[in-house]
Amino acid sequence: MKNVSNPWWMILIKGIILIALAIAIFNHPLETLVGFSVYMGIGLLFTGVLLIITAFTIRKIEPQWGWKLAEGVLDVVFAFILLSNPAITAVVFPFVIGFWVITYGIMKFADSFSQKKEGDSGWGINLLGAIVTIVLGYIVMTDFVAGTVAITTWIGAGLFLLGILNVTIAFQVKKLS
């Protein structure tokens, strides 16, 4: 009955699957980009629509509402680019992501000065974050290999760490039961 109420082995299986998925991602980076470009496109479509709705909702109370609208429109445009042809998109994915990251960084750069004008003490860290974002976006955009490696490495590393975490938790749960 303990296995039903405390299925540590299910957590273990989840961890093993996540580790196997991470290894597959490391071994097949281009295929990873094809799949990821579809999911990224769907995500950008939803966030873009939400940002557009938000922009129109706050336009009477927020003088900088246009930035939210621009960000939302940009997200929707990139979503359609990513979803139009996933196989071709995978090849240009690092360029598209790099350009999107640079554009996002530029918007956050401008936004940090709006924060400064409003007296927000956190504007400096946002400015620094925007600059770092722009530089990283440039690296991903201009070097296909570096971009592909960066994107798939972050995805693979994240899944690998989640897998290790799940395996560790599984054995902790087993020890407690």
Of 78, 127, 75, the C-alpha closest to 106 is 127
Task: Please count the structural domains in the chain.
Answer: 1
The structure tokens listed for 5 are 């109420």
Angle, CA of 174, 176 and 177, to the nearest 5°: 65
Can you give the pTM of this predicted structure? Answer: 0.56
Residue 1: inside a domain: no
Domain membership of residue 155 (yes or no) is yes
Residue reference for tokens 């299986």: 13
d(CA 100, CA 110): 15
28-51 per-position pLDDT tens digit: 887 887 888 788 889 999 999 999
User: By mean pLDDT, which of 47-61, 62-76, 84-98 is the weakest?
Assistant: 84-98
Residue 2 lies in a domain: no
* Residues 135-162 pLDDT 10s: 989 988 888 788 888 888 888 899 899 9
Residue 3 inside a domain? The answer is no
Is 36 within a domain?
yes
pLDDT tens profile 10-23: 889 988 999 998 99
Asked, for residue 112, whether it belongs to a domain, the answer is: yes
The parent domain of residue 137 ranges over 8-176
Q: Does the residue 140 lie in any domain?
A: yes
pLDDT over threshold 70, residue 1:
no
